[in-house]
Amino acid sequence: MIYFNNVSKVYNKDSVALEDVTLTVKEGEFVSIVGHSGAGKTTLVKMILAEDMPTDGTVFFESLDIHRLKSDDLTKFRRRIGVVFQDFKLLSNKTAYENIAFAMEAVGKTEEEIKSDVPHVLELVDLGNKKNHFPHQMSGGEKQRLSIARAIINQPEIIIADEPTGNLDPVNTYEIVQILKKINDLGTTVILTTHNKGVIDSIKKRVITMEKGKIIRDDKDGKYAM
């Protein structure tokens, strides 16, 4: 589904974010990418979202060369991916309901679909009673659940979660991981970056370990090994 071919990203001579990364993610997989801060996890994710261009190499999503897409095609491509960030990246001047509705509007859903799906997904992440709250009126765990709801609302083919539990306490972390596992069980590919040992050990799926921009381990049914 996703193919990295000898991808390198050099910001300047002294900071190499990715070095010759070759990697395949298959459909339906749950892949955890672990490593210390600065190991290159977030850069890897940015490559998939075409937020950043590789200095060398190519990244394919099925048959699409992600970094050669034109602006319109890139917009369409991003609609096939749901993203969850450590800092949530919610629209601060929109309510919980509107944040999710916006993602549906972006892909051209009708008002009827929005009206029926948004309350449903808010219930799913246990935010049914917070639909008129703005992000600044919600706790960290609630914001992250909202951000997951937004990521899954359009039934994307893949969910990318970049350190989704970085700002959360253990209880909220556990909840978020359970939601991600459930999403994966329903058939969606999940790519998770984290440096939380507990999270990795509880998932018991494929683990890719990165260090200084390189992949140093790739274990099926892996555990946190750093």
Partner 1 sequence: MILLKRIIKSGFKNFKRSGLISWAAILVVTITLSVITTIIILQATLHFSLNQIKDKVDVTIYFNVGVPEDQIMSLKDSLLKLPEVASVAYTSSDEALQLFRDRHSEDYPTIQALDEIKDNPLGGYLNVKAKEVSQYENIANFLKTDSLSVSGFGSIIDKVNYNQNKLVIDRLNSIIAGAQKLGFLITLLLIIISIIITFNTIRLAIFISKEEIGVMRLVGASKMRVRGPFMIEGAIYGIIATIITLLLFWPITAWLGRNMTGFLGLNLYDYYISNIFQIFVIVLLSGVFLGMVSSVLAVRRYLNK
Which chain residues interact with partner 1 by CB under 8 A?
A: 49, 51, 71-72, 75-76, 78-79, 83, 89-93, 102-103, 105-107, 110-111, 150, 154
Structure-derived torsion over alpha carbons of residues 192, 205, 178, 154, reported in degrees to the nearest 10: 50
CB of 95 to partner 1, least distance (A): 10
Q: How far apart are CA 54 and CA 146, in angstroms?
A: 31
Nearest 5°: CA angle at 148, between 144 and 154?
155
CB of 162 to partner 1, least distance (A): 11
Q: How far apart are CA 195 and CA 216, in angstroms?
A: 15
Q: Which of 12, 71 has the CB closer to partner 1?
A: 71
Beta strands in 36-169 (DSSP E): 56-61, 64-65, 81-85, 158-162
3-class state of residue 164 by DSSP: coil
Q: How far apart are CA 119 and CA 157, in angstroms?
A: 22
Residue 147 makes CB contacts below 8 A (sequence gap 6+) with 84, 85, 88, 89, 90, 164
CB of 226 to partner 1, least distance (A): 29
Q: Which of 32, 147 has the CB closer to partner 1?
A: 147
Which one, of 153, 161, 180, 168, lies nearest residue 99 by Cα? 153
CB of 111 to partner 1, least distance (A): 8
Q: Which of 94, 205 has the CB closer to partner 1?
A: 94
Q: Which of 45, 190 has the CB closer to partner 1?
A: 45
Q: Which of 67, 79 has the CB closer to partner 1?
A: 79
3-class state of residue 219 by DSSP: strand
Q: Are 32 and 39 a contacting pair, CB within 8 Å?
A: no
CB of 138 to partner 1, least distance (A): 16
- Give residue 165's Cα distance to chain centre: 12
Q: Which of 41, 46 has the CB closer to partner 1?
A: 46
CB of 209 to partner 1, least distance (A): 27
